[in-house]
Amino acid sequence: MKQENVSLKTRTDDFEHQKMLEIKNLKVVFPMEMGLLRAVEGIDLSVDKGKCVAIVGESGCGKSVTSLATMKLLNPAQAVVQVDKMELDGMDITQLSEPEMQKLRGRKVSMIFQDALSALNPVMTVGKQLDEIFRKHFKISKKEAKARSIEALRMVGIPEPQMRYKAYPHELSGGMRQRVLIAMAFACHPDLIIADEPTTALDVTIQAQVLQVLSDMQRKNGTSLILITHDLSVVVHMADEICVMYCGKIVEKASTRDLFKQPLHPYTKGLINSVAKMSDEKGEFVQIPDSLPNPMNKPQGCYFHPRCPYATEQCRQEMPYMETLENGRQVRCWNWREEVCYVE
Ligand SMILES: Nc1ncnc2c1ncn2[C@@H]1O[C@H](COP(=O)(O)OP(=O)(O)O)[C@@H](O)[C@H]1O
Ligand SMILES: [Mg+2]
């Protein structure tokens, strides 16, 4: 027992400060008829090995575009992507060709999307779809692929996996389909998984079960995970670190514990308050006032100032820089030091 503890400790130490993904200054622009839509404006993102980093923010703030850019899945005819550095496990992926990326996807990095019905092929059984993944990446027989697929279904808690292997996607419930996507994402033991709103389409109880499966699989496999969600309550038990995104920029980055204990950005505070209110007053969802600005016409100064109760003249004029605090957490706000920004 003692020895096991020691080896676990060494493993954690080895993992420390080893980056699975490192992105510096990612920008994504969609040239539109009406002008330029700056969806992502210079994001830095890094995920250590075996860790879970969450990207949180309201719908439309650029979370999916960030993840698609990381997988190099944005259509170059629509999106202009610029990045200073994009390394996966120390390898520069900016220059990789599409065939080279295809080899990486699934094997080294894979994605779980919100909508399992559109991610799965409706006319193929889920078992065959899993078989295909195994056979694409490993030289194995059909029989061996089937055995691995059934095991993969069992690992994500699908009851009677031999039976479900033969099911078509529409024959499974939403939660079961999402488990199939998780099984597919983990099939080839990738180093990094990007889960984009993996449980948004599910009801709350099923959502919790599916998140538990995702979290267990991540920990068991030592996979790095980027968990994308508009719902802060989803990440509290799963993420090691949280990046809060607003209008294409990261406005706050901190360990999950620090962020919930003391959010520094007024936007983060608003998100946390809305989660807290949701759990005590039934059905009363307290939101941050107004909504996101038009992405084609973002305000001058801090993008959050029109919705911020603490905005000053400086906030209306100048975009705050990302300030790094002593303990490594970061915040993009002129007034975070003001007492008003702390949780009451
Ligand atoms: N293919 C596209 N063409 C033009 N605009 C896009 C495209 N994809 C996303 N956008 C825009 O980029 C912004 C960020 O979108 P997205 O990353 O999907 O937001 P989120 O995932 O945070 O809800 C939005 O304003 C969205 O309308
Ligand atoms: Mg999205």
Give the confidence band of 277 by pLDDT, cuts at 50, 70, 90.
Answer: low
Residue nearest atom 19 of ligand 1, based on CA coordinates: 60
Residue nearest atom 7 of ligand 1, based on CA coordinates: 30
- What's the pLDDT score for residue 289? 66
CA of 228 to the centre of ligand 1 (A): 14
Encoded tokens for 8: 């676990």
CA of 170 to the centre of ligand 2 (A): 23
Whether residue 286 is predicted with pLDDT greater than 50 in this model: the reply is no
Of the two residues 101 and 274, the one the predictor is more confident about is: 101
Average pLDDT over residues 45-51: 96
Ligand 1 closest atom vs CA 40: 14
Give the confidence band of 287 by pLDDT, cuts at 50, 70, 90.
Answer: low
- Contact between 19 and 36 under an 8 Å Cβ cutoff? The reply is no
Whether residue 15 is predicted with pLDDT greater than 80 in this model: the reply is no
Residue 294: CB within 6 Å of ligand 1?
no
Euclidean distance between CA atoms 31 and 302, whole angstroms: 23
Residue nearest atom 11 of ligand 1, based on CA coordinates: 39
- What's the pLDDT score for residue 79? 97
CA of 99 to the centre of ligand 2 (A): 25
Of the two residues 104 and 283, the one the predictor is more confident about is: 104
pTM check: above 0.85: yes
CA of 337 to the centre of ligand 2 (A): 31
- What's the pLDDT score for residue 276? 67
**Ligand approaching nearest to the C-alpha of 196:** 2
Of the two residues 292 and 251, the one the predictor is more confident about is: 251
CA of 107 to the centre of ligand 1 (A): 27
Whether residue 282 is predicted with pLDDT greater than 50 in this model: the reply is no
Give the confidence band of 156 by pLDDT, cuts at 50, 70, 90.
Answer: very high
- What's the pLDDT score for residue 274? 78
Euclidean distance between CA atoms 23 and 56, whole angstroms: 17
% the chain with pLDDT above 90: 76
Euclidean distance between CA atoms 61 and 30, whole angstroms: 14
- Contact between 262 and 252 under an 8 Å Cβ cutoff? The reply is no
Render pLDDT for 75-121 as a digit per residue (tens, 0 to 9): 999 999 999 999 999 999 999 999 999 989 988 999 998 877 888 99
Average pLDDT over residues 62-73: 95
Mean of all residue pLDDT scores within the chain: 89
Euclidean distance between CA atoms 25 and 87, whole angstroms: 12
- What's the pLDDT score for residue 209? 93
Phi, psi of 28 (to 5 degrees): -130, 125
Whether residue 230 is predicted with pLDDT greater than 60 in this model: the reply is yes
Encoded tokens for 171: 């024959």
CA of 279 to the centre of ligand 2 (A): 24
CA of 60 to the centre of ligand 1 (A): 6
Residue 248: CB within 6 Å of ligand 1?
no
- Contact between 92 and 69 under an 8 Å Cβ cutoff? The reply is no
Average pLDDT over residues 319-343: 84
**Ligand approaching nearest to the C-alpha of 57:** 1
CA of 247 to the centre of ligand 2 (A): 13
Q: How far is CA 311 from the centre of its chain?
A: 29
**Ligand approaching nearest to the C-alpha of 43:** 1
Per the rule left: phi > 0, alpha: psi between -120 and 50, beta: everything else, 174 is alpha
Instruction: Give 172's DSSP letter.
Output: S
Whether residue 261 is predicted with pLDDT greater than 80 in this model: the reply is yes
Query: Cβ contacts of residue 184 below 8 Å, gap of 6+?
Result: 110, 129, 130, 133, 152
Ligand 1 closest atom vs CA 32: 4
Average pLDDT over residues 177-205: 93
Euclidean distance between CA atoms 306 and 105, whole angstroms: 40
Rg (CA), the chain: 21
Q: How many CB atoms within 10 Å of residue 82? A: 13
Residue 244: CB within 6 Å of ligand 1?
no
Whether residue 342 is predicted with pLDDT greater than 70 in this model: the reply is no
Residue nearest atom 26 of ligand 1, based on CA coordinates: 60
CA of 87 to the centre of ligand 2 (A): 23
Residue 78: CB within 6 Å of ligand 1?
yes
| Ligand 1, pocket-test mutation among 40, 64, 66, 81, most atoms within 8 A of CB | 64
Whether residue 325 is predicted with pLDDT greater than 80 in this model: the reply is yes
Give the confidence band of 288 by pLDDT, cuts at 50, 70, 90.
Answer: low
Residue 295: CB within 6 Å of ligand 1?
yes
